[in-house]
Amino acid sequence: MERIGPIMLIEGPNKSSKVPYSRSLYLDCADKVLIDSGADPKSLLQIEKENGIQLIMNTHYHPDHTSHNYLFPNAEKLINPIEYETAQSIEGIARANGVYQEWGPKGVETWKQNLPSRWVKSLGQLTGTYEYEKEYNFSGIKVQFLHSPGHTSGLSCPYFPDLGVVFAGDYDMTSFGPWYNGTDGDIDDFIRSGKRLLELDANTYITGHQKGVFTKEEFAVAMETYLAIINQRDEKIERYVAQGLSFEELTSIGIFYPKRTLDNGILKTWERTGIRKHLHRLGLTVPELSRVYTNAK
């Protein structure tokens, strides 16, 4: 298991490469703190057996970061203050994921039937919230949960000022590019928060998926390529709009997800929500047949 000082990196299968898994951090100290619970459940249970897990801090509510909370019924489980309420109801999650916006109440019903029960159970076990930016001290390990909106509105990136380490989570530097496709995601916030991570006094960046550990220099180079994908999406969409495509046609090409995967309900949903954000950002409108449900409660 890789270690950076007192921080242990716990992997999910295949380098934590994708949903439903992600990398977790374990703070090897008397407070027994786990950050995110998306790692391989076998490894997490092993840690629990050997070291104990008393407190779980979730960076955000997505399933690949929270789904194994339920394995530790006795641990305290905290999430960021913006997403605590969202995570309390399936309805709230459906709205944040764009399911309601794109398909309305009927779509939400269908989506509910395919929800992984361990995720629902894990969110149901959340016990409260932590504070953004505050310096927590876990048996001498100082950490701040930096508010890093964009990927979701509540995402936090844990920053260890004394160790010069940042857990960049879903700033994962993968070739897929930035993900901000929920109705709680925001492209401009995503860019701003990404830039803030680079301004921190840190030399080690740990991502939640794939490669894992970057030096600051490597992370800066990767960030440039990563954020540039946003502009490439803009350009593609602009080109297609100029050709006169309708919203239905535009969302069947595969701007975010490979075309062949767009018959999957949730990926199609995120293809639509993502393209909607770019159209809005570009100030463009296209003909659309379907109705958009507003997210207001």
Q: Give the nearest distance from C-beta 67 to Zn ion in angstroms.
A: 12
Q: Give the nearest distance from C-beta 97 to Zn ion in angstroms.
A: 11
Toward Zn ion, which CB reaches closer, 43 or 156? 156
Toward Zn ion, which CB reaches closer, 96 or 262? 96
Does residue 89 sit in helix, strand or coil?
coil
The footprint of Zn ion (CB under 5 A) covers 62, 170
Q: Do residues 275 and 255 make contact, with C-beta atoms less than 8 angstroms apart?
A: yes
Distance from C-alpha of 186 to C-alpha of 182, rounded to nearest angstrom: 8
Q: Which two tokens stand for residue 184?
A: 């709680």
Distance from C-alpha of 268 to C-alpha of 252, rounded to nearest angstrom: 8
Q: Give the nearest distance from C-beta 80 to Zn ion in angstroms.
A: 12
β-pair type (24-27, 33-35): antiparallel
Q: Which two tokens stand for residue 269?
A: 């949903």
β-pair type (7-10, 3-4): antiparallel
Q: Give the nearest distance from C-beta 151 to Zn ion in angstroms.
A: 6
In this chain, which residue has its C-beta nearest to Zn ion? 62
Toward Zn ion, which CB reaches closer, 227 or 245? 227
Toward Zn ion, which CB reaches closer, 160 or 270? 270
Neighbouring-strand partners of residue 167: 206
Toward Zn ion, which CB reaches closer, 19 or 198? 19
Other C-beta atoms within 10 Å of 172: how many?
24
Q: Give the nearest distance from C-beta 279 to Zn ion in angstroms.
A: 23
Toward Zn ion, which CB reaches closer, 36 or 102? 36
The CA-CA-CA angle for residues 171, 19, 60, to 5°, reads: 55
Strand locations in 43-155, DSSP E? 55-58, 76-79, 128-129, 135-138, 141-147
Q: Give the nearest distance from C-beta 120 to Zn ion in angstroms.
A: 17
Q: Give the nearest distance from C-beta 191 to Zn ion in angstroms.
A: 17
Toward Zn ion, which CB reaches closer, 107 or 178? 178
